[in-house]
Amino acid sequence: MKRKVLINVVGILLAFLLGALVMILQGYNPLETYFRLFEYSLGSPSKISYTLTKSVPLILTGLSASVAFASGPINLGQPGQFLMGALLATIGGLYIDMPPVLMIPFLLVLAMVGGALWSGVAALCKHFFNMSEFITTLMLNMIADFFTFWAISYPFFEENANYPQTPLIAKNGWMPDWGNFGSSVLVMLIAVAIIWFIMNRTTAGYEWRISGQNSLFSRLGGVNVNKNYILVMLLTGALAGLAGGLVVMSGPHRFIKGLGANYAWDGVMIAMVANSGVILTLLFGFFFGILQTGSLGMELITAVPRELIQVLQAVIVLIVVAGRGYFETLFAAMEAKRKMKERTT
Amino acid sequence: MNIFTGLIKGMISAATPILLAALGGSLTYYAGIFNIAMEGMMLSGAFFAMLGSYYFHSWPIGILFAILGAILMALIFILFAVVLKMDEFITGIGLNLFAVGLTTYMLRQIFSVKGAFSDPGIVSIPKVDIPLIKDIPVLGEILSGHNLIVYLTLLATILVSYIVFKTRFGLRLRAAGYNRTCLDTSGVSANKIRIWSLILCGVLCGLAGAYLSLGYVTLFSEGMSAGRGWISLAAVILVSGNPTGIALISLLFGFTDGLGLFLQQSLPSQFTSMVPYLATLIALFVYSMRLKKKLTV
């Protein structure tokens, strides 16, 4: 356990060191830049709660990818499922109005249905036609991108707007905010808790994880692999859709063009760096949230372009994952050597 | 007649970047590498092509830069996937994201723009008229007057086909994918072969990138590879790496792209832009149906 924490921390530090090197080469002061980055995102309780609220979609799409990767299906369709969830929640919010107690859960369920429908298409393609979900989800991402763009430009277009967007959704469907702390954080935490419980404390979660590690073994052990595959795809789609719905309901309260662009690949990235673990996904999702929120402050004060954070994120993923494999073989080799010595003496 | 030749020309120019990247993917496919980094290599190539062409006002340097930029990505892939033995899938995804981040960052840092950069200083790759052939009525219009890269692509298709099936390197390449232990025990380093296949893939993806930013259009915009790397991956998988098959599939995708433009008269552009991706799904469907038939017979 300690070793795992150490590997992750060393990987992140190495990535930061590389980032600092790049900054020095371009004449920036890395220490000040990093200080501003963290100061802006973690400097005060209200800033922390703002950052936490901002990392909700990151954590949820990350969770979606984590559950999928841990259980076998390579669902890379989070961006598309996110958009479809956001679109369905928006449409619900445009045409239906209920008291908030009913409205918010209703819209959240709609968002999950939207995401699950979209991942369901990929799941059915695999189930009936054996088409690899790895490519179908990617293609469905592109299609969802154009489809939602069409939806907000024609049927649900706000009249007189000079930018593709829908009108505002009903006020009863807005996620309440307490200062900088959005209630979407609570929804996210509940989702994380449920997923953790399913993955670690139920038979279904056990079957999924075993199928992810060795599909043949689980099939021979009597696991219904096909049924589980469809379930996982629907669940992970629902999670990504939920992220989309929450962004609409707590952020702009409408569907704007480019809504999901910021979260496009972050979910997959977080799942990979978190090694598909639920708790690590939560932590890394928040960490990436810190970086992304802080990048704004960094750019405002130190003039380092915030796009640097995009590079840094990818470097963190590569180094942490490579480091994990490298250190694990290193530790295994050390262990083996020690045992050899013990036996010879 | 005009629509017909226009459609064919559109098909060829849309197919070119997909075909180039897919040829690179074919080499790594034969070497047994699950290489999904074509998207990132192409994007990096497109950026560096624009950079070289802008600073030196010359397209050959643009192409050179594109190839170097894509090879840089290939080297990072080699470092992580071959040297550090990291999962190829994760390396590929990480590298694609790195390419997106790097090009956006440099676009911002060097040119101080967000989104896209175009400038009259960027010199595009010239179109080539083939003497004699260009005077033949319809055929000349179709075959002549394409971008230089289009003809290079034709050459590359033949070359890759020849290298893979007719040379010693090609034999070793296929052996590396088929049974790398066997190759290692016969005294040829499988890793070395894999590294070369990735570098060659970088060269081809660099050319594809140069075509995007200096041929198709004369500008660079963020994420301008727009999923072409993924489509080329689908093409490689569909024909199990065969270069001739890849050429045919790429032309098919190019055709659907042109078809999309053609349909724009009657459908909203958002739907016509979906056509190549839908075509990929349909191609996967046909492929799996064919596979199913083979298995049941």
Please give the residue range of the domain that contains residue A256. Answer: 54-284
* Of the partner residues B86, B104, B292, the one whose CB lies closest to the CB of residue A130: B292
Domain assignment present for A172: yes
- Residue B143: what pLDDT? 81
The b/e string for B228-238 (b: 16+ C-beta within 10 A; e otherwise) is bbbbbbbbbbb
The CA distance from B114 to A317, in Å, is: 25
- pLDDT tens digits for A1-36? 677 788 888 888 988 998 899 889 888 888 988 998
Whether residues B80 and A130 touch (CB distance < 8 A) is answered with: no
- Residue A92: what pLDDT? 94
What is the count of structural domains for chain B? 1
Distance from CA of B286 to the nearest CA of A (A): 9
- Residue A2: what pLDDT? 73
Domain assignment present for A279: yes
3-state secondary structure chain B: CHHHHHHHHHHHHHHHHHHHHHHHHHHHHHCCCCCCCHHHHHHHHHHHHHHHHHHHCCHHHHHHHHHHHHHHHHHHHHHHHHHCCCCHHHHHHHHHHHHHHHHHHHHHHHHCCCCEECCCCCCCCCEECCCCHHHCHHHHHHHCCEEHHHHHHHHHHHHHHHHHHHCHHHHHHHHHHHCHHHHHHCCCCHHHHHHHHHHHHHHHHHHHHHHHHHHHCCCEECCCCCCHHHHHHHHHHHCCCCHHHHHHHHHHHHHHHHHHHHHCCCCCHHHHHHHHHHHHHHHHHHHHHHHHHHHHC
Whether residues B285 and A125 touch (CB distance < 8 A) is answered with: yes
- Residue A1: what pLDDT? 65
ipTM of the complex: 0.87
CATH code for the domain of B234 = 1.10.3470
- pLDDT tens digits for A235-245? 999 999 999 99
Domain assignment present for A108: yes
Q: Is the pLDDT of residue B155 over 90?
A: yes
What is the count of structural domains for chain A? 1
The CA distance from B100 to B44, in Å, is: 8
Please give the residue range of the domain that contains residue B61. Answer: 2-296
**Three-class SS of residue A265?**
coil
Whether residues B108 and A147 touch (CB distance < 8 A) is answered with: no
Whether residues A131 and B273 touch (CB distance < 8 A) is answered with: no
B105 and A CB contact within 8 Å: yes
Distance from CA of A114 to the nearest CA of B (A): 19
Contacting residues of B for A131, CB less than 8 Å apart: 281, 284-285, 288
- Residue A262: what pLDDT? 67
Whether residues B277 and A313 touch (CB distance < 8 A) is answered with: no
- Low-confidence spans in chain A with pLDDT less than 50: none
Distance from CA of B251 to the nearest CA of A (A): 18
- pLDDT tens digits for A136-148? 998 999 999 999 9
Distance from CA of B85 to the nearest CA of A (A): 8
How many C-alpha atoms does A74 have within 13 Å on its Cβ side? 10
Domain assignment present for A129: yes
- pLDDT tens digits for B103-144? 999 998 888 888 888 888 888 888 888 887 777 777 777 788
Domain assignment present for A65: yes
Which of B275, B284, B289 to mutate against chain A (most A CBs within 10 Å)?
B284
- Residue B157: what pLDDT? 95
- pLDDT tens digits for B174-214? 999 888 888 889 888 899 999 999 999 999 999 999 999 99
**Mean pLDDT, chain B, as a whole number?**
89
B90 and A CB contact within 8 Å: yes
Residue of B nearest to A154 (CA): B268
- pLDDT tens digits for A223-237? 888 999 999 999 999
* Of the partner residues A310, A312, A317, the one whose CB lies closest to the CB of residue B94: A317
B126 and A CB contact within 8 Å: no
* Of the partner residues A131, A318, A326, the one whose CB lies closest to the CB of residue B285: A131
pTM to 2 decimals?
A: 0.90
